[in-house]
Structure 1
Amino acid sequence: CYKKQGKPVVYLDESGFAHDRPRTHGYAARGQRCWGTQDGQAKGRTNVIGALLGTVLMAVGLFFCSINSDVFYAWVTQRLLPTLPPH
């Protein structure tokens, strides 16, 4: 186990969020119908990858594309590994 050997453990996570979220509910006066439109074809998404070493958030990267193995590999080799402390 790495912790028993005194080596740090780095936790990684990836998440994403839409730039525009259509509203599915609204408000109207009692007894009146709520009218509106929603764009089901809203575009735009930002993905985030980050690492946690102890209590330090590090190597956070924002991506305006889908995260595939090539993007993840580039993030690991170009952002994460250069910022890790030497152990």
Structure 2
Amino acid sequence: MTTLDPDKLVFIDESGFDTKMTRRFGRAARGAPCVGAVPHGHWRNNTFIAGLRSDRIDAPMLIEGAMDGDAFCAWVEQMLAPTLREGDIVIP
């Protein structure tokens, strides 16, 4: 029976978000003002990608817009590959 060493696993995680997802209204105690900062005028999609290990995050990158093939290949070559060691298993 073969077992996997959790320290050798690298999971690729990609998450997207939009700054328009910010709430326009907040909560405060009755009679108290609700004060907070919200990004203004930057309504774009963003993508965050990273390699997740059992003990850390490797090669985090944030890009404006959606991830495409060229951006993904550049991330793998320039950011993820240098962090990999012999025996690592990358799981997309």
Q: Report the TM-score when normalising by structure 2.
A: 0.60
Verify: 1:17 aligned to 2:17, yes or no.
Answer: yes
Larger Rg: 1
Deviations 1:1-35 (A, max 9, x none): 6727x981210110111112276989xxxxxxxxx
Verify: 1:43 aligned to 2:43, yes or no.
Answer: yes
Q: Structure 1: how far apart are the matches of 2:59 and 2:50?
A: 6
Percent sequence identity over aligned pairs: 31
The change in CA–CA distance for 1:2 and 1:70 in structure 2 (over 3 A counts) is farther
Which contiguous aligned blocks of 4+ residues in structure 1 show a shift greater than 3 angstroms?
A: 22-26
Question: Where in structure 2 are there 5+ consecutive unaligned residues?
Answer: 27-41, 88-92
Greater length-normalized contact order (CA 8 Å, ≥ 6 residues apart)? 2
More helix by proportion, 1 or 2? 2
**What one-letter code is carried by the residue in structure 2 that aligns with 1:3?**
L
Number of residues paired by the alignment? 72
**What one-letter code is carried by the residue in structure 2 that aligns with 1:71?**
A
Supply the RMSD in Å over aligned alpha carbons: 3.0
